[in-house]
Amino acid sequence: MKSYFSGLFDLRGTLTKRDYNILLYLGIFLILVLWQAITTLTQVPPGVFPSPWKVLICFPELHFQDAIVRNALYSLYLNQAGMYLAVIISLPLGFVIGLFPLFRGLTERQIAVFRYLPLTLLIGVFIRWFGLEDLMKISFLAVGIFVYLLPTVILRVDEVKEVYVQTVKTLGASKWQIIKTVFIPDVLSRAFDDIKVLAPISWTYIIIAEMINKTGGLGSMAYLFGRQSRADKAFAILVIIIIIGIILDKIFTGLDRLFFPHKYATKGGKE
């Protein structure tokens, strides 16, 4: 027993699937207990910081009166469309800049500066360019991911080991064949992890995007409920976003296993 608990504190140690699940649910339980304790002991008004029970019982109202499912699907549509647009632009552009010194020299400094742009201050520019409809919101969310994803793709190109490039060169491969057989598989394999990590960034901008023209969505609802002192509903929406995030993360992991199974392979073919 002593060795088991000491193993939980090993540096970069590993957990079995069973132990991981136990700790996962234990962590959720402790968070709920702490949350309930804070609301009970401090007597904070429910309109400011609701208890877990208050949040739970407001879900029927959200469903029947506030069309939470429709608004969740709308936010998910904006979020995923923005992510796919950012990926479609970032991957080929990142390959071109990362592979060819000409384009790297022309754009490297500018790309580094893009990450410091206060995108929320540019919302007026996006409205001017794309209007007030979904295209503007999707474009705004896409840029929020693009400014971080593009430098990451370029970095992944740089990380491709030169030994692989030299190996295919000795076999007489052309530039396109080197790109096709070495750079594209290697970069995509690792960039997929980066996409999974960076995709949730657009959820941080969702309120700003959805407040324009107020066509619905979780972010817009959370903002309005906060203004109306319905913190229970606002917290419920945060819970919904977290659940959506967990589901999306599972989907990404499944796709990663499907497209890049070698990342999960160990000796004997077992994970």
pLDDT tens readout for residues 181-226: 999 999 999 999 998 888 888 888 888 888 887 788 888 888 888 8
pLDDT at 270 over 70: no
54 or 3, higher pLDDT:
54
How do residues 59-114 score in pLDDT, each as one tens digit? 999 999 999 999 999 999 999 999 999 999 999 999 999 999 899 888 888 888 88
Residues 113 and 219 in one domain: yes
On whether the CB atoms of residues 267 and 95 are closer than 8 A, the answer is no
- Per DSSP, the residues of 112-145 read HHHTT--GGGGHHHHHHHH-SSHHHHHHHHHHHH
Provide the mean pLDDT of the chain: 86
Residue 149 predicted with pLDDT over 50: yes
160: containing domain: 52-269
Considering the domain boundaries, does residue 47 fall inside one? no
* Whole-angstrom distance, CA of residue 144 vs CA of residue 83: 9
Same domain (yes/no): 108, 18: no
CA distances, 69 to each of 61, 64, 76, 130, 237 (Å) = 12, 10, 10, 27, 11
Tell me: do 130 and 233 sit in the same domain: yes
One domain, residues 258 and 129: yes
Q: Please indicate, yes or no, if residue 160 is contained in any of the structural domains.
A: yes
Are residue 119 and residue 190 in the same domain, yes or no? yes
